[in-house]
Amino acid sequence: MKSNQGTGFNSNKQPKDLHERIKEAEKKVEEKNEKTEEENFKEMEEEVHRLLEDSAVAKVKKNVNEALTKAKDAAAKERKIRNLRE
């Protein structure tokens, strides 16, 4: 009976209506696709952090132009995050 449970069959119940199963699946997909504002901010902050790390690596490799560019990008993105939160 385990192989039938995934299709909505149960030893005690009738099979679920196909439309109900489709609606349940659509709700799950919608919930996963929607990102909260905090999740978006967290992703942006991770990008800023990555840029700062890349800048530090470039500085260690004596590539100061690349380090400066990445640091400026990180600062600009950080300002954008602050403005969006306000």
Where do the domains of the chain lie? 37-85
Tell me, what's the pLDDT at 51? Answer: 94
Task: For the chain, give the mean pLDDT.
Answer: 81
Distance of alpha carbon 50 from alpha carbon 74, whole angstroms? 8
User: Which band of pLDDT confidence, cut at 50, 70 and 90, is reported for residue 6?
Assistant: low
The whole-number average pLDDT for the span 20-33 is 72
pLDDT at 52 over 90: yes
Tell me, what's the pLDDT at 63? Answer: 94
The whole-number average pLDDT for the span 6-22 is 62
pTM as predicted? 0.59
Tell me, what's the pLDDT at 1? Answer: 47
Tell me, what's the pLDDT at 80? Answer: 93
The residues near 59 (Cβ < 8 Å, ≥ 6 apart) are: 67
Find, among 23, 1, 22, the residue nearest to 10 by Cα.
1
Q: How many CB atoms lie within 10 A of CB 80?
A: 12
Tell me, what's the pLDDT at 32? Answer: 63
Find, among 28, 24, 6, 26, the residue nearest to 15 by Cα.
6
